[in-house]
Structure formats: C-alpha cells, structure tokens
Amino acid sequence: MSETVSRLDGWAKVARPIATFLSGIPRIDVLGVGVSAVNVDLAVAEIGRWIAMKNRQYICVTGMHGIVESQDSEELLAIHHRAGLVVPDGRPLVWLLWWNGHRRADQVCGRDLMTSTLAHGAPLGWRHFLYGTRPETLDLLEARLKAHFPGILIAGKISPPFRACTPEEDQAIVDQINHSEADIVWVGLSTPKQEFWMASHRARLGAPALVGVGAAFDFHAGTMHHAPRFIQVIGFEWLYRLAAEPRRLWRRYATGIPRFLGGVAIQLLGLRRYPTGTSIQK
C-alpha cells in the first residue's frame, strides 16, 4: 500500500465518525462503505445546514456500482469515508438500512436530490453551479431548470473536456466556480470520476456543497429518460437502464451485481467484517 493511500485510509477511519457526530446522521457499513441513513428531505436539510454554517462538504450518491468500485480502490473507499453524506442510490441499500432499523431511510437518486434541493433553495437564494456533461446538454439543462424552477439562481456552468485537464485549465475552472460564489456545485460526471473530482477539489472550492449526481444532468435536460417509479420501488431500475444503454452498462451489471450480492451475503453471515464501524447485521 502506498504512503498516500495509507494516509487517506487512516484519515478516513477518523473522518467518518466525526462526520456522523457532527451531522447526527448514522451510517451503516455495506462492504466497508458507510451509507447514510437518509431520505431526500433529510439530505436537503443537511445541505442547508452546510450552507448556513459555511461547512464545506461533498455528497456521494452511491448505489451498488459505487460500493463494488470501492472494493477495488482503497482511495475511492477513503473518499466515501470522508464524504459529508453517502446517500443510498438504489433499493438494495435502502433495504439494508431498513434491516438495521432505519425505517425513515429511502432511495436518494441524484435526479430527485437535485429536484428537491433546487425547489427548496429557490426562495432562499441558493446559488447553483453546473459542472459536467456536453456543452449542448448543459445549455438545455440550464434552460429547462430555469423553466421548471422559477427564481433559481444558476451562478455558472462548465462543460469540462473529456480528456484530463491541464493544470492551467483546472485552475481556471476552480477560479470560475469560486468567482460565481456558488452555494452548491452539481457535478454531473460518471462514477467514480465525479467522486475523485469532488475529493480532489474540495479544499480549493469555496462552495459549501459539492454533489455528484451522475446522469441527473441528462435526465433533467431530457436527453435520457428515467425508469417509472414502480420499477424503482421493486429494485429493477438497473435493468431499465441496462435495456436503454446495453453497450455501456452490460459489463458493469454483469460483474457488479453478483459481486455486490455475494459480498453482502458473506457480510450478513458474519464471515467477513470491515474495520469501518457499524455492521449491516441486526
């Protein structure tokens, strides 16, 4: 293990209990990832608390894919531990939270979190920055958000290059976001790219909240369609998305679902424990 990863992991073991204590929001351990016992309303309230206190944090919107990716990357696992919230984006994580007695918990997907936060923050004057996706999608997203949420303040937007940014380009992005005086930066990149971006930029950005929402930009822009509610409730949103994007997603689900289910079964049976705090066992 490299010295950097060791340092990140050591900080993660300290940071997660501190974050839980400060927010009062418990987490359960799912394959070593601490998942917050929240619903959309609780997550929006926590964002509001960060803005009021100028307490800079980031949110990982995490489902099975993020949990599995964290098994292969100690750095990504540490990033989840340092997050202000790790919200459950998927019914399996919600069911595990319920199993632990957190009955108020519910699925918090990026699309719904964005909708509720925009609606709640409009009369409060919250300033939003949009970072991610293609320029044409970003323009459409901004127009649709302004039409659906009268009074919202879009402080700025950036469509980053698909290649790695040069140091000069990256600094220009940081400067533009900071100059906008945004309260919330919505990060519409893929997982785990958006998690790495938020963690590496958190200290350099003044916005209290960074929120990685993945495909929410495309859903709100109307370039992608989300699964009907009943499909989400029964836990088959992944199948709906696979049918819509089989080339991009088939490998993720073909390998990820068995790894997640197998890992959870082993953890529930007590055959493996993780040194991160609360167990998912009752």
pLDDT in tens, 84-99: 999 999 999 999 999 9
Cα separation values, 110 from 86, 130, 213, 216, Å = 12, 13, 4, 6
**Residue written as token pair 């990863």:** 5
Tell me which residue of 6, 66, 9, 11 sits closest to 36, measured CA to CA: 66
CB-side exposure of 26: number of CA atoms within 13 Å?
15
Burial of 180 (0-12, 13-18, 19+ CB in 10 A): buried
pLDDT-wise least confident of 16-25, 53-62, 125-134, 200-209: 16-25
Distance separating alpha carbons of residues 197 and 211, to the nearest angstrom:
11
8 Å CB contact between 94 and 82? no
Higher model confidence: residue 199 or residue 282?
A: 199
Q: Which top CATH class is 23-221?
A: alpha beta
Q: What's the CA gap between 96 and 29, in Å, rounded?
A: 10
For 24-36, the pLDDT digits (tens) are 899 999 999 999 9
pLDDT digits (tens, 9 = 90+) for 199-239: 999 999 999 999 999 889 998 987 766 657 666 666 666 65
- Asked if residue 156 has pLDDT above 70, the reply is yes
User: Cα–Cα distance between 223 and 162 in angstroms, integer?
Assistant: 18
